[in-house]
């Protein structure tokens, strides 16, 4: 039996993206199923898959159930140490784990004000003081990691730290958030990752527009690195 993963709409579900990216980026096979968040069938489909009301949900080959993207990340890093999901260097590994945990539990102002949307970008978004504070913290964390590693990703090679910050990079690009040149370069690197491109393109084909995510601002084409 293979891993089985249940996700929501690719265009909007940042946690589904975090659940899927480790499989795609590190070549771990997974059988993918999808459900529609906010639909009448969502709760019953998640329950039937074995989840508790949210996505992503992962079934392991042995029948274990993981209902949180952080749990999925730790499980895969432990199960596939040869894949390099976390840095080998003990100090870098500890720092990466700390960044992942901070992303998982923090940056709520930015996440709440700027829902992930891979179908469009927005013009004229006004950055609040709380969102700016989150951006300042992100830029400090990213610049320190990139300075130590030399890039192009936070710890040199792509890792779970980049997986967890991918939806934030998408938000920065989609809302035109003000960041310094180093941060903008990292955002561009994130958006150019083949797995991100694959995820976005699938969402454009499969997802319907969700009115809940309309910001009431003028729309722009989503910025694609080229």
pLDDT tens for each residue of 29-64? 999 999 999 999 999 999 999 999 999 999 999 999
Give me the pLDDT at residue 56, please.
98
Give me the pLDDT at residue 173, please.
98
Give the Cα separation of 70 and 68 in Å (integer): 6
Give me the pLDDT at residue 225, please.
86
The torsion angles phi and psi of 107, rounded to 5 degrees, stand at 55, 40
The torsion angles phi and psi of 129, rounded to 5 degrees, stand at -65, -35
DSSP string across 132-197: HHHHHHHHHHHHHHHHHH-SSBTBBB--HHHHHHHHHHHHHHHTT----HHHHHHHHHHHTSHHHH
Closest to 161 (Cα-Cα) out of 80, 104, 83 = 104
Please, what is the average pLDDT of the chain? 97
pLDDT at position 226 over 80: no
pLDDT at position 178 over 80: yes
Give me the pLDDT at residue 39, please.
95
pLDDT at position 23 over 90: yes
Instruction: Please tell me the total number of residues recorded for the chain in this structure.
Output: 226
For 201, other C-beta atoms within 10 Å of its C-beta total: 12
103-152 pLDDT, tens per residue? 999 999 999 999 999 999 999 999 999 999 999 999 999 999 999 999 99
pLDDT at position 1 over 80: no
Give me the pLDDT at residue 208, please.
94
Beta strand extents in the chain (DSSP E only)? 3-7, 30-34, 57-59, 65-66, 121-122, 219-220
9-21 pLDDT, tens per residue? 999 999 999 999 9
């Amino acid at each position: 039996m293979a891993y089985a993963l249940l996700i929501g709409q690719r265009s909007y579900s940042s946690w589904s993206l975090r659940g899927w990216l480790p499989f795609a980026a590190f070549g771990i096979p997974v059988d993918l199923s999808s459900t529609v968040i906010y639909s009448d069938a969502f709760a019953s489909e998640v329950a039937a898959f074995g989840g508790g009301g949210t996505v992503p949900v992962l079934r392991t080959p042995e029948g274990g159930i993981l209902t949180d993207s952080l749990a999925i990340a730790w499980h895969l890093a432990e199960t596939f140490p040869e894949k390099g999901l976390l840095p080998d260097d003990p100090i870098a590994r500890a720092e990466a784990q700390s960044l992942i945990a901070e992303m998982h539990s923090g940056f709520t102002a930015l996440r709440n004000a700027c829902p992930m949307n891979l179908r469009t970008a927005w013009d004229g978004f006004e950055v609040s003081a709380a969102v700016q504070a989150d951006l300042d913290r992100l830029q400090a964390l990213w610049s320190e990691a990139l300075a130590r590693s030399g890039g192009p990703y936070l710890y040199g090679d792509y890792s779970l730290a980049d997986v967890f910050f991918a939806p934030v990079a998408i938000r920065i690009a989609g809302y035109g958030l003000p960041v310094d040149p180093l941060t903008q370069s990292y955002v561009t690197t994130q958006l150019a990752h083949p797995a991100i491109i694959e995820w976005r393109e699938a969402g454009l084909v499969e997802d319907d527009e969700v009115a809940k995510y309309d910001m009431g601002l003028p729309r722009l084409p989503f910025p694609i690195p080229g």
